[in-house]
Amino acid sequence: MKKINEKELVREARKAMERSYSPYSGFSVGAALIDTEGRIYHGANIENASFTPTCCAERVAIFKAVSEGVKDFSAIAIVGSGGNFTAPCGVCRQVMREFCSDDFEIYLADKNDNIKKYTLAELFPESFGPDDL
């Protein structure tokens, strides 16, 4: 497995954020997801005039990868245009729970490149997942 450099992954998330389609909120989010082979999947939030179909950057990245047949992930980096740390919403945490293990790493970066590191288990404890059915 390729070693993950969190700063590199944050840089990729910033690149992804440039592709955000967010005319309604004006809030851009970028995500960079890395699989266990070291391949990176970029995601940006994509909004909609009808609001509900809006998809977060994290889910765009995850769904891109899953639709390419990839389901083994190591980490995701997330950045938001607000400048503060942008943590994944509840829906995205649930989607991570579907495909990622407890030790999946989540890096949040603020505008000064300070990085907070969490595991999925830390951000989404006592959750419901595929093994609970």
- Is 126 a residue of the active site? no
Q: What is the 3-state secondary structure (H, E, C) of 2-50?
A: CCCCHHHHHHHHHHHHCCCECCCCCCCEEEEEEECCCCEEEEECECCCC
Tracing tokens 């989010």 back to the chain, one arrives at 29
47, 58, 68, 122: the catalytic one is 58
Q: Which of 8, 82, 89, 103 binds ligand THU (CB under 6 A)?
A: 89
Answer yes or no whether residue 77 interacts with ligand THU by CB under 6 A.
no
Q: List 43's β-bridge partners, or say none.
A: 31
Answer yes or no whether residue 58 interacts with ligand THU by CB under 6 A.
yes
Answer yes or no whether residue 48 interacts with ligand THU by CB under 6 A.
no
Return the SS3 of 80: strand
Q: Which of 9, 13, 16, 29 binds ligand THU (CB under 6 A)?
A: 29
CA distance 38 to 54: 28
Taking the alpha carbons at both ends of the chain, their separation in whole angstroms is: 30
Answer yes or no whether residue 22 interacts with ligand THU by CB under 6 A.
yes
Answer yes or no whether residue 27 interacts with ligand THU by CB under 6 A.
yes
Answer yes or no whether residue 88 interacts with ligand THU by CB under 6 A.
yes
Q: What's the min distance (Å) between Cβ of 61 and ligand THU?
A: 10
Using left for φ > 0, alpha for ψ between -120 and 50, and beta otherwise, residue 36 falls in: alpha
Cβ nearer to ligand THU, comparing 45 with 74: 45
Which residues are near ligand THU by CB under 6 A? 22, 25, 27, 29, 45, 47, 54, 56-58, 86, 88-89, 92
